[in-house]
Amino acid sequence: MATHGYDAVEAAVRKTLVPVCTLSGVLVVTVFFFPVFVGSVIPGRALLVAALLFFGSGLAYLALLPLANDAEADEGRRRDAPYLLRVRHLSPLAALRSFVGRQDPATFGVPVAVLVLFFLAQIVLPTTTGRAVSTVENLLLQELGWLFLGAMFLCVCYCLFLLLGPWGEIRLGGPDAEPTYTYPTYFAMFFTAGIAAGIVFWGPAEALFHYGTPPPFFDVAPRSDAAVVAALTYALFHWGFSAWCAYLVVGVPIAYFTYQLGAPLRVSTILAPFLGVDGLRSRWATVVDVLAIFATIGGIATSIAFVAQQFLAGIDFQWGVAYGDVGPVVFVAGLTLIYVVSAESGVQRGIRRISGVTLGLFALFALLLVGVGPRSFVADAGSAALGSYTLNFLPMSLFFDGPWVAAWTVWNWSWWFSWAPFAGLFLAALSKGRRIRTVVFTGGVATSAATVAWFVLLGGTTLSLQHTGRADVLAVVQQYGGSEAVVGFPVLAALPLDRLLVFLFLGLIVVFIVTSADTSTLVVAILATRRELAPTSGSILFWGLVQGGVAVGVLLVGGGEALQAVAVLTGGPFALLALVALAGLTLTLSRRVGFGGPWLPWLAAIPTLPTMPHDLAPPDETHPDRADDDPDASVEDD
């Protein structure tokens, strides 16, 4: 059913957004083509507000557009997207009345309490808090670094087995299940949600840092010809197939247990083979979901804060406009508004459309970079790095010698594992009707190919400018306190069409963080809501504001590195839980499907796993939550 009052509000907002986007767009374009006006006619803060209004109003308008026609809406219902992935729209009064009652006490209360206590500790005892976090971080990343290296390598091997082995033919949801989304949409939503804005500022930065301080694995001189290939090789290694496997080993088990065995769409579902469906209401399952929420909020919130600093560093570099402490807070507030609107509009509208825009800008920027960048250098260095990456993949995966590996490889693996709960759950939610082989190919091969291409293009361009002396990017980094946030801007400034490239680069920063933040908001709302209910628009608003509030807290109170470190430390438990998920999936599939031959005959001795009902959740159209005490409620059609 439709909520006519809600639709009327959306229509009024859309009408307001059109002139706002048009006027702010004219102002922003004028600034880019006539930068002399910045500072003299257009104050710096006005430029920031105009940029936010332009990007934000355009994305919000896109998110709030209704589905194209009734046929599109009918198709969404026919394809039967997961009920819990939808957003339940309630009238404001009903949302306030039912908000608390719809939340799971543990998964809602514990993360909020922990975040409040963290910031209180950061305010009252900042030195002690930072020292405690650093101690635990050093212990985990250095003393237990082998855990992350070993877990990631096993995940890679397992994903290759799923890609090439007989289990890849299993269709999630049964042999007659149809994919919920078209393949381009499926790829775009997962890729943009899982990579975040880190790809934008680490694309030009990571290889440059390795060029100045080469990885000990290669034993080459800093800033040498050999350092170029070594630096690019490790950048590809940290952002390539291994990294995406961390998402797959969580997402594939959740998808299988949800669609094949009727388990709930939650991160704790990875424990279903050991606890049974009824056991997923136990404390162990609750702990897993709480860790997932905290890791997601900590990772996304710190990313939002750092992206705000990068965006403003770029404007400062480009036009010499400084914003002090107010600018980042204004930027975070604008970002929060954008991704809350996107998440609240649902997967079929905001999240899907903005993902498409992000992928389109990503491709356009890459094509322009190919056209104006140092193609010969990039091709030579890129092909050499790809060859080195392929040949040295196994030894690099197992190489653990000294603090460099702990600071880079182990830290990266921990970060990817800490993001695995939210990205894996979202992948599982999108994958109904897909074969496991298609899920692994899309979530591992296709995504890493896009990431590798980006790092070859942008990282290779940066190394070319630095190595040939056309631009001293390392000096600019040192001037800005060693921050990776500023690297991309002197690189683009040294190329033709620099203003257009910087404009697109700033746009990519915004859309990439929005596509991750809107997805994470939806996932956290799902985990914090009682498992039999879909999240409401009020829940989306609450968790979106929590993420934005944590980002503002990081900027004002400090502790961004400590909070990021704490979020990354959750990668330790999830590295272990990923192995548990793989063990559970292996045991389940070996008993239900077999290996297609006598590969591991000893598995026949394994006891039968707990029985799970085939269909735990009621059908969408008869779900009891669709007819609660609010007669004006609606569920966003996916």
- Tell me the pLDDT tens digit for each residue of 74-123: 444 444 455 556 666 655 666 666 666 777 788 888 888 888 888 888 78
**Quick one: how far is CA 150 from the chain centroid?**
23
Separation of alpha carbons 213 and 231, rounded Å: 9
At 9, the pLDDT band (50, 70, 90 cuts) reads confident
Q: What's the pLDDT at 92?
A: 60
Q: What's the pLDDT at 94?
A: 63
Q: What is the mean pLDDT of residues 162-186?
A: 92
Separation of alpha carbons 544 and 9, rounded Å: 20
Q: What is the pLDDT of residues 268-317, one digit of tens each?
A: 999 999 998 788 888 899 999 998 998 888 888 888 887 887 778 777 77
Q: What is the mean pLDDT of residues 510-525?
A: 91
Q: What's the pLDDT at 572?
A: 82
Nearest C-alpha neighbor of 212 from the set 433, 472, 521: 472
**Residue 599 pLDDT greater than 50, yes or no:** no
Q: What is the pLDDT of residues 413-468, one digit of tens each?
A: 988 998 999 999 999 999 999 999 999 999 999 999 999 999 999 999 999 999 99
Separation of alpha carbons 333 and 556, rounded Å: 13
**Residue 391 pLDDT greater than 70, yes or no:** yes
Q: What is the dihedral of CA 482, 486, 490, 495, to 10 degrees?
A: 140
Helices (H), ranges, 266-408 = 272-279, 283-319, 326-345, 352-372, 375-391, 393-398, 403-405
**Residue 604 pLDDT greater than 50, yes or no:** no
Task: Give the domains, in start order, of the chain with CATH numbers.
Answer: 4-635 (1.20.1730)
Q: What's the pLDDT at 154?
A: 96
pTM over 0.85: yes
Kindly report the CA angle at 353 between 183 and 81, in degrees rounded to 5?
Answer: 55
**Residue 570 pLDDT greater than 80, yes or no:** no
CA distances 586 to 256, 275, 333, 606, 616, Å, are 11, 15, 45, 11, 22
Strand residues in 467-621 grouped as ranges (E): none
CA distances 464 to 222, 414, 472, 558, Å, are 15, 30, 11, 36
